[in-house]
Structure 1
C-alpha cells in the first residue's frame, strides 16, 4: 500500500511519514512564496489540511502534486492575510506607496485554474517541475516513467497552459 493510500485511509503514521518525506519539499516551495517569518506557519497549515482533507485525496493522482497544490493555496492565503493586515496598518499618506500584490495573486489564481484543466499526467509533471523545483530526470525517477515521457508531458502541458492563459 502506498503512502497516499495509507494517508487516505486515516493512518496517522502515514501523516508522520508524509511530513518527513514531503516536509522539506513543501518548506522550499513555501519559502519561495511567503516571507521567511511565515514559512513555519504555512507549512503547519499545509499538513493540517492534508490530514483534514485526506478523504478527498485520490491516490491515483499522486500525493506530491496534491500536497504542493495545498501548499500553494495556503501560501496565497497567507499573502492575502498579510496584505489585508498591511493595508489596515499603513498610514494614509503611505498607502499610495504601498506595494500591491493583488496582480500577482490574481495571476497565481489564473494559473491554478488553468492547471486544473490540464490532464493529470501533464499537470503532475508541471507541478513537480515548477513548484517542486525538480529536474525532468528527477521527475522521471519519482514517477517511474521514461525521461522522454516527462519531456513530452511537460511540453504539451506548457503549450496548453499558454493557450489557456
Structure 2
C-alpha cells in the first residue's frame, strides 16, 4: 500500500489504527493513547515519502509509534506531590511512626539495645509475631522473650524520651 493521498491514509488508519492503539496502551497512560495515535498517523502522513513499499508497512508504522511513545514518556513530567501532602510511607507492621525523622530516631534507639532485646522487639512489632512465636523462632523459653521485650521496651522508652 502506498500512502500517496488522503484516501490511502484513511485506509491505512482503518487497517492499522486498532493495532497501533493496542500497542500504545502498553506504554503510555490510557488518557494519552488517542492523542498519541493521532500523532503517529500525522507522522505517517508527513513522512510518507520515506516509506519503502518493498518493506512492511505495519513494521514502519509500529517503528514510528514506538518512537512517539518514547518521546511522549520522556517529555512527561513525573507526577510529584509535596512531601507534606504525601502522608506517611508504609510502616513496619503494627508500629506506625509519624514521619521519617521519627523513624530514623527509632532506628537509632533500637541500635542502642542489646541484640537480644532488639531482636525480640523487632519480631514482635515489625514482624507481627506473638511472644510464643518469637520464643519458637529463637528457640528460647517464653519467659525469656517476655523479659527481653519488657526490658528492651523500657530502655527504648528512656532513649526516645531524651531529645
TM-score, scaled relative to structure 1: 0.48
Larger Rg: 2
